[in-house]
A and B are shown apart, each in its own frame.
Chain A
């Protein structure tokens, strides 16, 4: 049981931060930004690069998050705002183009092989009947800690209130004195930084490679959509739900059906499980599970 919880937590922290970052910015930009997962990849490589120049890991991480946040803001101002004028579908395709360019740049500089932050191994710690490594604990703590901080920011501070106001009704927010441009840039920066943090954590527990972002694309979007695009805490819940379903599917022993022991669903069907959940959820709740908006029929 403990192993199950640990597995769920590990998987959740893999995708949670990036999904929350995506959701936070969605209500502002109104198009699914496919390049968002590449920010995670950029962040992971950024931390790697800074770490290699001699900075300790935590400083490198902060540096990479800031840098990625800035990149996100720049791309939003220079590219996506212009593309949005032609419609959200053009913007979505544009984000596809940006993804390709980001991958190409990293591929050209770093190559296609995977990297690790440190050349040593992370020693396993035994907690009761389960085993977990230091890296995984770091990732889980970071992930959940940041989401908690974000919740505090959004719901308990003035800045957060402005952000939520901009997200739900930009015109009205501007009318009440919220500085639109600054808040938008702030939210974009935040989403980029969150993605970079999530990417670095994933690079810590798995490895840093150029396909990191692409592998995250579907799970992150599934989590964000399940929670309702624009609902950051919903995205965290969505990540948890997906993680639970994936872990459940591969841990259940179906041996009793066949009269033997140790019959499991092949691991490659894991992602299929989360997509089926997503599709089924969308059939019944087209705007996400936590959707409370009233729409005209």
Chain B
């Protein structure tokens, strides 16, 4: 009896939804899987804003194929299983030809693999692990991967005469990638990485990890961590007195997005350059709509992802995934908010500009 009622409600809901989707045929829909909840929620929110700005920009200029552009945003929940369900819904219910996302490499890889397996186009807007390369044909990255960032970071740290460092990053494909790349580059320059700690995501304390790192008495700490976890790490480092040594953050806005400013004061780091040729326009539009400066540089990558996808669909002449895949390769080089975007043979961004930054109550250029 109860079950029959449940069945009726689900049937009615699905019928209503199919009517709704049918009437949306006048729009071209793309999909996005973003971390709207979880450790990276601040960045996910910024990515969502970047997408909104891009949609407004596209629709103000005739839309896509003469129709309105719409991006359906789903929550990844900060874990791969939820992200995969969201991707599944986007691909099979909303029938989008392109899926953008996510932020964490550990989630982007399974989502990307699923999306390209289903024949659609995947655009990586936030992950940088070198393992992204293996997602395969049909996946493109508008953000540079970590072999580039690690090289930059290693050089930057070594140039400051810091020869013995400890490294902490999350225990997922992003963290593993950036840790091994950094260690390789740093040691080839002549430095020493005396301790590499990969922390488990989602813990509420990282005191023990920090204590293990501090035992090797490094000259500096190099770290990369997601917003809320980074806030905990920074706070506990301060409480343990470790923040008296130099801290260097890879993707510093991500590392400090939720941190109490006092704990991060004086940190240095690198950041993906968010002000390219079209960057100023992006920043202005962001300030106008949201009344504050861009929260992170990842919003501009999401913006560029949508713009490149829209351009590719226009070039392909149809919202057909196979045609869009081909068009993506020819619509570049594209001048976006993050600079000139060009793809190498594997669909990954060829050149990635980085900025040297430091934290002085917020992230500023050095």
Contacts of A1 in B (CB 8 A): none
Contacts of A267 in B (CB 8 A): 197, 199-200, 208-209, 212
Check if B38 sits within 8 Å of A112, measured CB to CB: yes
Closest to B242 in A: A131
Residue from A135, A136, A206 in contact with B232 in the complex, judged by beta carbons closer than 8 Å: A206
In angstroms, Cα B207 to Cα A250, docked, is 11
Closest to A118 in B: B260
Contacts of B215 in A (CB 8 A): 253, 262, 264
- Once A207-B204, A209-B204, A250-B212 are accepted as A-B contacts, the answer to whether A112 and B37 lie under 8 Å apart by CB is yes
CB of B175, distance to nearest CB on chain A (Å): 13
Contacts of B228 in A (CB 8 A): 113-114
Q: Does B241 contact A (CB under 8 A)?
A: yes
Check if A124 sits within 8 Å of B240, measured CB to CB: yes
Check if B241 sits within 8 Å of A121, measured CB to CB: no
**Which size class do B's interface residues fall under?**
20 to 34
In angstroms, Cα B154 to Cα A249, docked, is 32
In angstroms, Cα B235 to Cα A205, docked, is 10
In angstroms, Cα B40 to Cα A112, docked, is 11
- 1/0 per residue B236-247: CB within 8 Å of A? 001111000000
- Once A215-B204, A267-B209, A268-B171 are accepted as A-B contacts, the answer to whether A262 and B239 lie under 8 Å apart by CB is no
Contacts of A119 in B (CB 8 A): 260
CB of B102, distance to nearest CB on chain A (Å): 17
- Once A121-B260, A267-B200 are accepted as A-B contacts, the answer to whether A113 and B205 lie under 8 Å apart by CB is no
Residue from B195, B241, B263 in contact with A131 in the complex, judged by beta carbons closer than 8 Å: B241
Check if A120 sits within 8 Å of B260, measured CB to CB: yes
Check if B238 sits within 8 Å of A262, measured CB to CB: no
Residue from B41, B199, B204, B240 in contact with A206 in the complex, judged by beta carbons closer than 8 Å: B204
Contacts of B239 in A (CB 8 A): 121-122, 124, 131, 133, 135-136
Q: Does B314 contact A (CB under 8 A)?
A: no
Contacts of B205 in A (CB 8 A): 205-206
CB of B233, distance to nearest CB on chain A (Å): 12
Contacts of A268 in B (CB 8 A): 171, 200
Check if A121 sits within 8 Å of B262, measured CB to CB: yes
- 1/0 per residue A258-283: CB within 8 Å of B? 00011010111010000000000000
Contacts of B37 in A (CB 8 A): 111-112
Q: Does A126 contact B (CB under 8 A)?
A: yes
CB of B25, distance to nearest CB on chain A (Å): 35
**Which size class do A's interface residues fall under?**
20 to 34
In angstroms, Cα B239 to Cα A10, docked, is 13
Contacts of A113 in B (CB 8 A): 41, 228
- Once A215-B204, A267-B212 are accepted as A-B contacts, the answer to whether A121 and B199 lie under 8 Å apart by CB is no
In angstroms, Cα B241 to Cα A10, docked, is 17
Q: Which A residues, 59 to 115, have Cβ-Cβ distances below 8 Å to chain B?
A: 111-114
Contacts of B204 in A (CB 8 A): 114, 206-207, 209, 211-212, 215
CB of A206, distance to nearest CB on chain B (Å): 4
Contacts of B209 in A (CB 8 A): 267
Check if A121 sits within 8 Å of B238, measured CB to CB: yes
Closest to A208 in B: B204
Q: Does B216 contact A (CB under 8 A)?
A: yes
Q: Does B194 contact A (CB under 8 A)?
A: yes
In angstroms, Cα B212 to Cα A7, docked, is 13
Instruction: List 17 A-B pairs, Cβ < 8 Å.
Output: A7-B211, A111-B37, A112-B37, A114-B232, A124-B238, A124-B241, A133-B239, A205-B205, A206-B204, A211-B204, A212-B204, A250-B212, A253-B215, A262-B194, A262-B216, A266-B198, A267-B208
Report A's interface with B, CB cutoff 8 A: 3, 7, 10, 111-114, 119-122, 124, 126, 131, 133, 135-136, 205-207, 209, 211-212, 215, 250-251, 253, 261-262, 264, 266-268, 270
Given A126-B241, A206-B205, 9 additional A-B pairs, CB 8 A: A3-B211, A111-B37, A114-B231, A121-B239, A121-B262, A205-B205, A253-B215, A262-B194, A267-B197
